[in-house]
């Protein structure tokens, strides 16, 4: 049996456990159509995966009131359809199972709202791997440092040797703000340049590369 390198691992959701791109793109397109604004194209939306949704709409639309309407329209579609237009990355379920079998405590720390986050994990058969999920409720802030901090009391003595795994600079910076190392994954939505500049503990370019970083 493999030995765990860390007693506790915190995973991001979007871009780390599952690929949400199709559902996000279609839901953003729906939201922008509802507020009468042009769709920027799929490639431009890659940068929207990870940061808080409200901030992305505000930056793109420039009008807080219009952005709020767009967010509401996005959630209307995403909550009923878009969250299921999603795919777990190949090998993720096997990795989570191996980690649990090795005795690793597993958690999810995501900026996605709790309802969709827990719904996605349940729908794709991943929920039972995790001890707890930290995610904002509607109306709460979604800064990654705060999301991670909410899990720390549960870690107890394992906090000193825990690690965060995520695909963007927000994961690296959020972990660092809580004095945790972060392993970045390069198969998600953060660019290689931005991840290197964020100085994570390591970068795994595939789920296969992640295995030996978490299991000896």
Domain spanning 8-19+87-214: CATH superfamily = HAD superfamily/HAD-like (3.40.50.1000)
pLDDT tens digits along 57-103: 999 999 999 999 999 999 999 999 999 999 999 999 999 999 999 99
Catalytic: 128?
no
**Cα–Cα distance measured from residue 123 to residue 205, given in angstroms and rounded to the nearest whole number:** 26
For 21-84, CATH number? Answer: 1.10.150.240
Residue among 12, 19, 167, 171 flagged as catalytic: 12
169-212 residue pLDDT tens:
999 999 999 999 999 999 999 999 999 999 999 999 999 999 99
Please write the tens of the pLDDT for every residue from 143-172.
899 999 999 999 999 999 999 999 999 999
Q: pTM for the full model?
A: 0.90
Q: Of 84, 145, 147, whose CA–CA distance to 114 is shortest? A: 147
């Amino acid at each position: 049996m493999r030995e765990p390198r860390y007693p506790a691992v915190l995973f991001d959701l979007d871009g780390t456990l599952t690929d949400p791109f199709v559902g996000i793109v279609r839901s953003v397109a729906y939201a922008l159509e509802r507020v009468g604004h042009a769709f920027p194209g799929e490639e431009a939306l890659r940068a929207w995966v990870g940061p808080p949704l409200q901030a992305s709409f505000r930056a793109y639309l420039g009008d807080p009131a219009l952005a709020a309407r767009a967010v509401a329209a996005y959630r209307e579609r995403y909550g009923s359809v878009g969250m299921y237009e999603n795919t777990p990355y190949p090998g993720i379920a096997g990795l989570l199972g191996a980690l649990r079998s090795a005795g690793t405590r597993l958690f999810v720390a995501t900026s996605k709202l709790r309802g969709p986050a827990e719904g996605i994990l349940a729908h794709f058969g991943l929920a039972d791997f995790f001890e707890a999920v930290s995610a904002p409720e509607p109306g709460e802030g979604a800064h990654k440092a705060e999301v991670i901090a909410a899990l720390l009391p549960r870690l107890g003595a394992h906090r000193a040797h825990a690690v965060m795994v995520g695909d963007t600079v927000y994961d690296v910076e959020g972990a660092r703000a809580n004095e945790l190392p972060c392993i970045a994954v390069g198969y998600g939505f953060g660019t290689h340049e931005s991840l290197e500049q964020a100085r994570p503990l390591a970068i795994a370019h595939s789920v296969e590369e992640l295995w030996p970083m978490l299991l000896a």
